[in-house]
Amino acid sequence: MEQFDQYTLRAYHDALAGKGATPGGGSAAAVIGGLGAALVSMVANLTAGRKKFAAVEEEMQHLLAEATRLKDTMLRLASEDSVAFDGVMAAYALPKTTEEEKERRQQAVWEGYRSACQVPLAVAKHAIEILKLAIVAAEKGNPNAVSDAAVAGFAAYAALNSALLNVRINVKYLPDDEWTRDMLQQVEQLISEGNALQEKVQAITDSILNT
């Protein structure tokens, strides 16, 4: 498995810009989400340990721990997304001469697409967590870093929507069954939740910047 967390920034960009199917938009969504988590960590670090913010010290330490965990998780998912889609490509390469081979290949393709849905869905769910952290960072963190907290929220929101686009396109290749319908229902719920959270990030940021 390609370990994108070991890549330089330029190397990852070059891989993304290449002719291969992976890394693609799903992997990029996870990287973008990781950047959001990193910015939450930045705000927490600019707040924690300072006397004037002593009242929120415990919250900032918790924020830092959670953001660090999510940053690392998103980097791992950036690699897992590519592995999942490589599985789809491998399934399509299976032989399809006999009816038995065709059936086996079809089942493998469907299983591949289900895996390719699960990874970006996980990215989206973690992006929701990062959005929630960005709200705390914007609301209670060092006000001089509120723009960084806002960018964290925007990055998480971009990761959320980008990841869910990948779920939706992969679902198109699956049968209309209970699994698929449940997946699409989760997509709609996450979009709705993400919209509300991003609006809150924006409102808090505007309130501080307009003061």
User: Each residue of 98-147: pLDDT tens digit?
Assistant: 999 999 999 999 999 999 999 999 999 999 999 999 999 999 999 999 99
In DSSP notation, 7-59 reads S-HHHHHHHHHSSSS-S-HHHHHHHHHHHHHHHHHHHHHHHTT-GGGGGGHHH
Give the number of other CB atoms < 10 A from CB of residue 160.
30
Q: Please, what CATH class does the domain formed by 23-204 belong to?
A: mainly alpha
Q: Structure pTM?
A: 0.94
Distance between CA 197 and CA 177 in Å, rounded? Answer: 31
Q: pLDDT at residue 2 above 80? A: no
Domain ranges of the chain: 23-204
Most confident of 18-32, 73-87, 150-164: 150-164
* Residue 95 tokens, joined: 């032989």
pLDDT of residue 22: 87
Give the number of other CB atoms < 10 A from CB of residue 143.
15
**Res. 69 pLDDT band, cuts 50 70 90:** very high
